[in-house]
Structure 1
Amino acid sequence: MIKELIIDLSPNGATIALLQDKQLVELHKEQTTNNYTVGDIYLGKIKKIMPGLNAAFVDVGYEKDAFLHYLDLGPQVKSLLKLTKQVRSGGYQSKLLDNFKLEADINKGGKISEVFTKGQVIPVQIAKEPISTKGPRLSADLSIAGRYVVLVPFSEVISISKKIKSNTERNRLRKVIESIKPKHFGVIIRTVSEGKGVTEMQKDLLDLIAKWEILITKLPSVEPSKKILGEIDRTSTLLRDLLNSDFQNIYLNDSAMHEEVRSYVRDISPDLENIVRLHKHREPIFEHHGIEKQIKGAFGKTVNLAGGAYLVIEHTEALHVIDVNSGNRTANKENQEENAFQVNKEAAREIARQLRLRDMGGIVVIDFIDMHKPANRKELFDYLRAEMSHDRAKHTILPPSKFGLVQITRQRVRPEMNIVTSELCPTCHGTGAIRPTILLLDDIENNFNYILVEQNEKNITLCVHPYIEAYIKKGLFNIQMKWYFKYKQWIKVKTNPSYQITEFRFFSAKDEEIKL
């Protein structure tokens, strides 16, 4: 499997596309205005305690108070409260926890009123970004993630990813971490650590300890509801979690970010530094790699499949519903069961991709085409599970019900990716009526008078539909030549087949569109 990462940087943020064998499987948008990213740590202030919910509402600076449930406090929340109080009062000077006395774990079935009082401050971590009308979901069980390990304060436990199967390797990794981890810090060893040496593991752990020291340093002076420690940006997070030898290319369209990503890859995986490439074509990066077309085809209510079948995807506040339709794929009675099975398998593969692509979370109900053979239903279920195994989000898939419905719950930590694929007609602007075509050249010349005469622009380009370009250039003494004599400068005429017949745009000498 060949993976590629395409990063489109714009003034509003970055759009990141993950491709597997040239097919778009994940799309992430990182806005420069988004201050509430999963993993960020804030100094929260308890605003309201809700005994009925066994939860608290916490002020972290968002327009709506964030939600912190008792089950998300973590067993050592009293140690965190004690450390926060001591550090902010100047009573604890060390940056690590060597001299810190841990408090007893809280009772799993306890009440939140036993832990918090109104107005209390505590460091909290964003567990879910603000979604729809809800504020962020918080956790007080802090952790700082690295490439190979995750650092967990107030713990002594070393956990190892279940995906590392070899007992010999598990024992080796445990001994490596035991020899280098500081006191009162737990460590989660990630899957990517398999086969890594002491030097790489130690460097990653030291980087995380340095972040913890930054948190302790900033804690005395930071104001309540302000950020203490920020997670790395989405691009670096994806590289940290996904980068392996399967990656063939990482393309970026910004030279400054190209150097940053190259430097980051050099630090975490030096042998892959050369796969980071700068996009130098004039064509936009997403169009050049065929991503724009895939986005238009993959988002929307109806998603067409290769064999003529299609999916209908509907969203509600409570759940997502996906209906599988065979479309124009016909079959006689003899092979109707086999046809339904093949359509369902094709749909299952696309559904697994759609869940990742749109980052759909919560409850998903899928209505597959009815099949009568139990063996086919079981094989479809196994096939869907295999396709979903590539999804990094936590999910649970239930076997088909007696009505043929498959239910999936999928972890939701950030808002669903929603892209509008329908476009407003650039000619009629949604009215259904267009300007008379006989006035098209008059409209173009009126704009020439403004751009060339009033604005004094030079070396402009007119971009039109190919039919209009042919009409403008027809003959020896054509319309383009007449413009040359009239405006005393040559006006270049280019075509764009995607334009409507009466659509036209103007571009400056720097190839920037002139807004009218």
Structure 2
Amino acid sequence: MSNELVIDVQPNEIVIALLDNKQLVEISKEKSNIQFAVGDIYLGKVKKIMPGLNAAFVDVGYEKDAFLHYLDLGHQFLTLNKFLQQALARKGRGISISKMKLEEDIDKNGKITDVLKSGQYILVQVAKEPISTKGPRLCSEISLAGRNIVLMPFANKVSISQKLKSTEEKSRLKQLLQSIKPKNYGVIVRTVAEGKRVAELDKELRGLIERWENSFLNIREINPPSLVLGEMNRTTAILRDILNSSFENIYVNDAAAAADIKQYISSIAPEKEKIVKHVKGDLPIFDQLGIDKQIKSSFGKTVSFKSGAYLIIEHTEAFHVIDVNSGNRSKAGNDQETNALEVNMAAAEEVARQLRLRDMGGIIVVDFIDMHSAENRHKLFEKMKEMMSKDRTKHNILPLSKFGLMQITRQRVRPEMNVAVQEKCPTCQGTGEISPAVLLTDQIEDQLASLVEKTPEKQFILKVHPFVAAYINQGFFKTLRRQWQATYKIKLKVKAIPSYDLMMYRFSDKDNRRIK
């Protein structure tokens, strides 16, 4: 198995694609000014107490108040609240958690009115990003994730990842962390920490503690609601969580981003520093590496996967439904049961990929092709568990019901990834009629003249279909491009985009930002 990461840095967003053996398995988009990401820590203000829900709505600066349930406060909420009040009272002086006396745990069957009141300042962490019409979901059991460990202020215990199989290694790591962690700090040891030496773990632990304590030095000057400690950006978070020996390449189309990623990798895995590659060229990086084609073929209502078989994916408010169809697939010599098993096994692999790719969450119901053999149904269940084992998101899979349905629950902490593959024709705008092709260059020139008049820009990039680009650049001295440059006293670069329609064109500025 080989993994590759492709990062497309645009002026307003970063798109990250994860490939497993050259096949697209995950894609995520991150706005340059992203807020309220999972892991961000905010100083909020309680706006409303809801005794009936045993919860509170907290203002963290989002347009809708965030939701905080009593069970998400954490056992040591009283200590966290005491720490916050002391930090707000002191100016420029840090508070050592190790010297604090921990308060009693809150009652797990208690009421929200026992610990919170309207107008109170509260320290919270984003557990789920804003989705659809809902604001962020919050918790007050704070954690800071590192490469090998997760720091839990006020927890005061060491937990080991359940994915670690060796009992001896679990015991070694637990004793090691208990000997180096300060008082009143808890630690969760991640799977990747297996085999790590004490010096490396101690350095990371000290770094996380320093990051936590430094964020409260000037908290008194913060005007709530405000961000106290931000999670690292999506790119480095993905690298922190999944970077391993199977990663062969990380492609980036931006020199500054490539340098930052290389520096980050050198701090967590120096031996992997050389896998970062800066990709240059006029074509978009996703077009160069064939990812755009994979995206277009992987999203949509119908997804083909093997020998004519396909999935139909429907979304409802309550859950997602995936129907497995064998299509026109048939094999001479194989009975119906064997064919059904083969299609279902291949479908299980594609379903697992689609769940990761679209980041589908909640309840997913998969309607597999009916199989009569209990042994075959069990094989399919085991295959699905194997394929889903690569998914980092919490999930649960139930065996097939007697109707051939498999139920899957998958945690959702971010909005579902949705890529529109059915688009209105950019040439006719859905009318079915287009202007004469002979007038295309006149239309381009008219729009260029309008842009020159309305904007102060002197450098433009014209993106067109390769055939049109060749026509505009035809010749040596008397090309259309040179004529337009001389007429409008500008600098014009023509870029051929294979994914564009023949009559489609776009203008961008020198920083590659589209001019509408």
TM-score (norm 2): 0.90
Deviations 1:67-103 (A, max 9, x none): 1111111100011111111221239955321221111
Deviation at 1:56, TM superposition (A): 0.8
> In structure 2, what is the equivalent of residue 327 of structure 1?
327
Aligned in 2, Cα 1:212/1:335: closer, same or farther, shift over 3 Å? same
Alignment of 1:396-435 (within 5 A): 396-435=396-435
Residue number among 416, 425, 438 corresponding to 1:441 in the alignment? 438
Shift of 1:331: 5.2
- Alignment of 1:393 with 2:390, yes or no, is no
Per-residue deviation, 1:423: 2.5
Number of the residue aligned with 2:84: 84
CA distance in 2 between partners of 1:286 and 1:162 (Å): 37
Local SS of the residue matching 2:258: helix
What letter is aligned with 2:350? E
Q: Distance in 1 between matches of 2:149 and 2:305?
A: 40
Counterpart of 1:155? 155
Matches within 5 A, 1:312-391: 312-330=312-330, 335-391=335-391
Show CA shifts across 1:35-70 (max 9, x none). 100000001211111111111111111111111111
Measure how far apart 1:469 and its partner are: 6.8
Letter in 1 for 2:367: D
Judged with a 3 Å threshold, the aligned counterparts in structure 2 of structure 1 residues 451 and 419 are, in CA distance, closer, same or farther, namely closer
Amino acid at match of 1:243: L
Structure-1 residue corresponding to 2:282: 282
Residues 9-88 of structure 1: pairs in structure 2 closer than 5 A: 9-88=9-88
**Residue type at the aligned position of 2:210:** A
Counterpart in 1 of 2:188? 188
Classify the secondary structure of the residue corresponding to 2:5: strand
Contact 1:459 1:489 in 2 (8 A): no
| 1:69-148 aligned within 5 A | 69-90=69-90, 94-148=94-148
Whether contact under 8 Å (1:465, 1:504) holds in the other structure is: no
After superposition, give the CA deviation of every residue in 1:108-134 in whole Å (9 maximum; x if it has no partner).
111111111111111000000000111
Contact map agreement 1:36 1:130 (CA 8 A) in 2: yes
Q: Deviation per CA, 1:265-297: give whole Å up to 9, x if none.
A: 000111111111111232211111111110001
Range that drifts further, 165-174 or 181-190: 165-174
- Which secondary structure state, in structure 2, belongs to the residue aligned with residue 17 of structure 1? strand
Describe the SS at the equivalent of 1:170.
helix
**2:273 alignment partner, SS class:** helix
Between the aligned partners of 2:211 and 2:498, the Cα distance in structure 1 is 52
1:231 to 2:231 alignment:
yes
Q: Distance in 2 between the 1:244 and 1:489 partners?
A: 54
Distance of 2:105 and 2:306 partners within structure 1? 55
- Give the match's secondary structure for 1:372: coil
Identity fraction in percent: 52
Alpha-carbon deviation of 1:380?
A: 0.3
Structure 2 unaligned spans of 5+: none
Contact 1:464–1:504 (CA<8 Å) still a contact in 2? yes
Residue correspondences, number: 507
Q: Deviations over 1:179-210 (max 9, x none)?
A: 22111101111111000111110111011001
Once the 2 structures are TM-superposed, how far is the Cα of residue 308 of structure 1 from its aligned partner? Answer: 0.6
Q: Which amino acid aligns with 2:394?
A: K
Contact preservation (8 Å) 2:461, 2:512: no
In structure 2, relative to structure 1, the CA distance for the partners of 1:152 and 1:506 (3 Å cut) is: closer
Q: Are the structure 2 counterparts of residues 211 and 449 from structure 1 closer, same or farther at C-alpha, using a change threshold of 3 Å?
A: closer
Question: Does the 8 Å CA contact 1:464/1:493 hold for their aligned counterparts?
Answer: no
Name the CA shift for 1:143/1:51 in 2 (closer, same or farther; >3 Å).
same
Tell me, yes or no, if the aligned pair for 1:452 and 1:458 is still in contact at 8 Å: no
Alpha-carbon distance change, 347 to 453 in structure 1, aligned in 2, over 3 angstroms: closer
Distance 1:50 1:333, change over 3 A: farther
Cα distance 1:315–1:482, how it changes in 2: closer, same or farther (>3 A)? Answer: closer
Name the CA shift for 1:267/1:441 in 2 (closer, same or farther; >3 Å): same
> Quick check: 297-306 or 163-172, which moved more?
163-172
Q: Deviations over 1:191-242 (max 9, x none)?
A: 1100011111011101100111123213322222211000000111011111
1:138 and 1:486 map into 2 onto residues whose CA distance is 59
Shift of 1:507: 7.6
Deviation at 1:427, TM superposition (A): 2.0
Letter in 2 for 1:441: V
Taking structure 1 as reference, are residues 467 and 77 closer, same or farther at Cα in structure 2, changes over 3 Å only?
closer
Q: Per the alignment, in what secondary structure is the counterpart of residue 71 of structure 1?
A: helix
Displacement, 1:484?
10
Amino acid corresponding to residue 97 of structure 2 in structure 1 = L
Task: Report the Cα distance in structure 1 between the residues aligned to 2:27 and 2:290, rounded to whole angstroms.
Answer: 14
Give the drift of 1:452.
8.1
Partners of 2:18 and 2:26 within 8 A in 1: yes
Alpha-carbon displacement from aligned partner over 1:448-504 (angstroms, at most 9, x marks no partner): 47758996999998955759979998xxxx9x9897999898999997765555x16
CA change 1:187–1:443 in 2 (3 A) is: closer
Distance 2:465 2:400 in 1: 53
Question: How many Å apart are 1:11 and its aligned residue?
Answer: 1.0
Task: Report whether the alignment pairs 1:214 with 2:222.
Answer: no
TM-score of the pair, normalised by structure 1: 0.90
Aligned to 1:178: 178
- Going from structure 1 to structure 2, the CA distance change for 1:337 and 1:185 (only over 3 Å counts) comes to same
Q: Residue 97 of structure 2: SS of its match in structure 1?
A: coil
- Give the distance between the partners of 2:240 and 2:285, measured in 1 at CA: 23
Structure 2 residue aligned with 1:272: 272
Q: What is the CA-CA distance between 1:338 and the residue it aligns to?
A: 0.8
Shift in alpha-carbon separation, 1:447–1:109, aligned structure 2, 3 A: closer
Q: Distance in 2 between matches of 1:234 and 1:141?
A: 22
Question: Aligned residue for 1:257?
Answer: 257
Q: Deviations over 1:434-460 (max 9, x none)?
A: 22x4xx324424644775899699999
- Point out the more displaced range, 480-489 or 59-68: 480-489
Q: Is the 8 A contact 1:56 1:67 kept in 2?
A: yes
2: CA distance, partners of 1:28 / 1:95:
38
